[in-house]
Homo-oligomer: A and B are copies of this chain.
């Protein structure tokens, strides 16, 4: 190993130096960090040639699985916890503000705006247990935020999002605006636990390491208001058996709420810009 150390270090320095050009300083800095961390990984685990070939095959299979409606690289980022880390790095909340979590692949801009108290169930065949979600959007100072926009979307009781069945369905997907009192209220059905798409290489990775593909039941929210930072988050069903082992590591304890009753109450606290 002593003979090997210097060449490995010199090699890493040489590769890093190759990216140290003026063409695009930020890209060069990121790629230089990619080199340092990927080399440290290969050196630390003493990756074998057969393992490297398996990694190339795996990445190629992940690429093969991507199409217009499936993004297997995002799924890989999600299941390695990178997507959640990205939110932590980019949106560390102020003390007292609602915690953010991942946007996920099922958000669609332009959801239909519905009035206070309306139902987001658009498909009569939805089924499930009715649930009212209600609360107030507030600033860090506790003052209600009027005319805040809440985008809401969630899985159907059959375990699929509307867009997985038909992009035009817009079932369990709506937008609301708060009034002068900052309040929101809508009717939905209780969200269910569901699995991430696990029929591809990422699913194989989970099975090969004894991991499961389940996400605990949750409702997605995107809360925006003039003068405030956008909040991307979920509310989780605190009784889900998968709460401590979310396949994409999106759970924050502060986002787990009671959904067993008829009404679920949660106040969103958002930060001024």
Contact = CB atoms under 8 A, between A and B. Distances in A.
Interface of A: 1, 3-4, 7-8, 11-12, 14-15, 18-19, 21-24, 27-31, 33-35, 37-49, 51-52, 56, 59-60, 62-64, 66, 71, 73-74, 77, 80-86, 88-90, 92-95, 205, 208-211, 245, 249
Contacts of A59: 59, 62-63, 73
Given A31-B205, A41-B37, A45-B30, A88 B7 contact: yes
Contact of A18 (B28, B52, B245): B245
Contact of A77 (B48, B56, B74, B82): B56
Contacts of A22: 210
Given A34-B80, A56-B71, A73-B56, A23 B208 contact: yes
22 contacts: A3-B92, A3-B93, A4-B88, A8-B89, A12-B81, A15-B81, A18-B211, A19-B209, A21-B210, A21-B211, A22-B210, A23-B209, A31-B80, A34-B80, A35-B80, A37-B40, A38-B80, A43-B89, A46-B89, A49-B90, A59-B59, A60-B63
Contact of A60 (B14, B19, B71): B71
Per CB-CB distance, the 9 closest pairs between chain A and chain B, nearest first, are A63-B63, A15-B81, A21-B210, A23-B210, A4-B92, A37-B41, A37-B37, A59-B73, A33-B45
Given A63-B59, A95-B3, A82 B209 contact: no
Contacts of A74: 56
Contacts of A12: 81, 85
A248 to B, nearest CB: 10
B86 A27 contact: no
Contacts of A24: 208-210
Contact of A42 (B60, B89, B94): B89
A18 B4 CA distance: 33
B21 A209 contact: yes
A8 B8 CA distance: 30
Main secondary structure of the interface of A (DSSP, over half): helix
Copies of this protein, total: 2
Contacts of A37: 37-38, 40-41, 44
Contacts of A35: 80-81
Contacts of A45: 29-30, 33
A210 B84 CA distance: 32
A49 B93 CA distance: 16
Contacts of A209: 19, 21, 23-24, 27-28, 31
B71 A15 contact: no
